[in-house]
Amino acid sequence: MDGPPARLRAEDTRPELTPFRHAWRLAVCLVFGLVVWSQATANEWNDHRAIFWGEVVLGVAAFVLVVFRRRAPVTVAAIVAVMSAFSGLASGPATLSAVSVATLRRPLPIIGIGLLNFACAMTYTLYAPFDLSGPIWVSVVINLVTNAAMMGWGMYLGSRRELLWTLHQRASRAEAEQELRVAQGRSQERERIAREMHDVLAHRITQISMQSAALAFRDDLEADELRAGLGEIQGKSNEAINELRGVLGVLRDQATGELVDGPQPTYSDLAALVSESRDNGLHVEFSDRVDRSDGEVPDVVGRALYRIIQEGLTNATKHAPGAVVRIALSGSPADGIDFQIRNPLGFAVGSAPGAGLGLVGLSERAELRGGTLVHGREGTTFVLRGWIPWST
Domains in the chain: boundaries: 10-175, 265-392
pLDDT at 340 (0 to 100): 95
Q: Residue 152 above 90 pLDDT?
A: no
- Contacts for 258 with CB less than 8 Å, ≥ 6 apart: 252, 300
pLDDT at 40 over 70: no
The answer to whether the CB of 12 falls within 8 A of the CB of 166 is no
pLDDT of residue 42: 54
Mean pLDDT within 124-137: 68
Q: Poorest-confidence range of 44-48, 221-225, 237-241, 340-344?
A: 44-48
Mean pLDDT of 234-240: 73
Q: Which of 106-120, 225-239, 310-324, 334-348 has the lowest mean pLDDT?
A: 225-239
> Of the segments 214-218, 228-232, 276-280, which one has the largest average pLDDT value?
276-280
Amino acid at 14: R
Residue 270: predicted pLDDT: 92
How much is the pLDDT for 13?
54
> Residue 73's closest CA among 40, 92, 53, 99?
99
Using alpha carbons, select from 49, 50, 125 the residue that is nearest to residue 88. Answer: 125
Model confidence at 192: pLDDT above 50: yes
Of residues 290 and 225, the one with the higher pLDDT is 290
The string of pLDDT tens digits covering residues 251-267 is 444 334 444 445 678 88
Tell me what pLDDT residue 97 has. Answer: 87
The most confident of the ranges 111-120, 185-194, 198-207 is 111-120
| Angstrom distance (rounded) from CA 251 to CA 7 | 47
Please provide the average confidence, as pLDDT, over all residues in the chain: 77
Alpha carbon of residue 334 to chain centroid: 39
Q: How confident is the model at residue 207 (pLDDT cuts 50, 70, 90)?
A: confident
Given a cut of 80, whether residue 131 has pLDDT beyond it is no
- Report residue 385's pLDDT band, with 50, 70 and 90 as the boundaries: very high
Signed CA dihedral, 95, 101, 103, 108: sign only: negative
Question: Residue 31 and residue 35: Cα distance in Å, rounded?
Answer: 6
Asked if residue 366 lies in contact with residue 348, where contact means CB atoms within 8 angstroms, the answer is: no
User: d(Cα 51, Cα 58) in Å, to the nearest integer?
Assistant: 10
Residues 6+ apart with CB under 8 A from 182: none
Report pLDDT digits (tens) over 306-336.
988 988 888 888 877 778 999 999 999 889 9
- Report the pLDDT value the prediction gives residue 2, as an integer from 0 to 100: 45
- pLDDT at residue 43 in the model: 59
Give which of 192, 183, 322 is closest to 258, Cα–Cα. 192
Percent above pLDDT 90 for the chain: 9
What is the pLDDT, as a whole number, of residue 345? 79
Query: Which pLDDT value is given to residue 1?
Result: 41
Report pLDDT for 319. 77
Q: What pLDDT sits at residue 133?
A: 59
CA distance 236 to 204: 6
Based on C-alpha coordinates, what's the Rg of the chain?
42
pLDDT of residue 326: 94
- Over residues 175-200, mean pLDDT: 72
**CA dist., res. 81 & res. 77, Å (int):** 6
Instruction: State yes or no: pLDDT of 139 exceeds 70.
Output: yes
CATH T-level fold of 265-392: Heat Shock Protein 90 (3.30.565)
Helices 107-127 and 91-102, packing angle to 10 deg: 160
pLDDT number for residue 237: 77
Mean pLDDT of 51-55: 78
